[in-house]
Amino acid sequence: MKFGCWVISLNEQDPQAQELFSSLKTQGIDAQLFPAVDGRKTVPGLLGDEFLDEREAKIRHKRSLTSSEVGCYLSHYRSIKQAYDEGYDRACILEDDVLLEPDFGECLKKLLELSDEYEMIRLMALKIRKRKVVAPLFEDSESAHEIVRPERGWCGAQGYVLSRSGMKKILDFASNIYEPIDKLYDHFFEFDLRLFGVEPHLIYERVCESTVSKKPKTLPKIGLYDKLVFHVYKGYRSYIRHSYLKRYQAEFYPTTLPVTRTGNTKRMK
């Protein structure tokens, strides 16, 4: 199996990026830098079949994406494309503002042993959601780590592992850009991405200001027609999600909420 790990960073020499590379090496993981697409000042240029769909963005979210959100999206999308084009079977993608739990390396090795049907495994989350506990990560071990399958989006794209089929599904679907990258992953049901997670989490965020701007505090005013389209489309997506969950009911249910906090990220809620 060909495996690669990439750290997305605007500056490889940044102290927090260097600390992450050092932590990965200490845990036996050779990581490569993936130069982040800089969208802090202006919307980045697009390549190949990448397309910024302003109309779809406004229908879904009542606003256009910020330039930083586009830069973040392209950083993830292009890192996945590189991994796929270079023939990797598994890829671990990390943003440079994360910290590793002490057992990250050991758990990552177990994740890489899973079958290809585990197409995306998120390593942390920002939302506490109902989920189905699929299996312990380690058999016959005192480790508390479990593979889970959330019925709704966890939010956040700070770190995840992809199988080759997961990479392909994302690349086939995601060249049309209309929402932040973590929302794309949250909407896994739209392109049948088999998405899982790990509890307790294997990474967590630093307490620092993100280079990716949050959505505006106030949304632009929209007309009556656009409001109607927004709610109709929201209802349609809800129908798609519930239909998907019903079709694969045995894979997602029964669900429960975790009984303890599953991660150390301060923004988690």
- Give domain limits for the chain: 3-252
Q: Is the pLDDT of residue 249 over 80?
A: yes
Contact partners, residue 189, CB within 8 Å, separation at least 6: 240, 241, 244, 245
- Residues 154-167 as b or e (16 or more Cβ within 10 Å = b): bbbbbbbbbbbbbb
For residue 220, the model assigns a pLDDT of 63
Interior angle at CA 172, CA 168 and CA 173, nearest 5: 120
Q: Is the pLDDT higher at 269 or at 167? A: 167
For residue 50, the model assigns a pLDDT of 96
Classified by CATH at the fold level, domain 3-252 comes out as Spore Coat Polysaccharide Biosynthesis Protein SpsA; Chain A (3.90.550)
- Predicted structure pTM score: 0.93
Per-residue pLDDT, averaged over 141-167, amounts to 93
Please, is 56 exposed, middle or buried when counting C-beta atoms within 10 Å of its C-beta (0-12, 13-18, 19+)?
A: middle
Q: Is the pLDDT of residue 219 over 70?
A: no
Q: Is the pLDDT of residue 198 over 70?
A: yes
For residue 217, the model assigns a pLDDT of 59
Written in H, E and C, the secondary structure of 182-202 is: HHHHHCHHHCCCCEEEEECCC
SS3 176: strand
- How far is 108 from 122, CA to CA, in rounded Å? 11
Q: Is the pLDDT of residue 85 over 80?
A: yes
For residue 141, the model assigns a pLDDT of 72
Q: Contact 76/93 with Cβ under 8 angstroms?
A: yes
For residue 216, the model assigns a pLDDT of 59
| DSSP class of 72 | H
**Amino acid identity at 129:** R
For residue 30, the model assigns a pLDDT of 96
- How far is 234 from 60, CA to CA, in rounded Å? 7
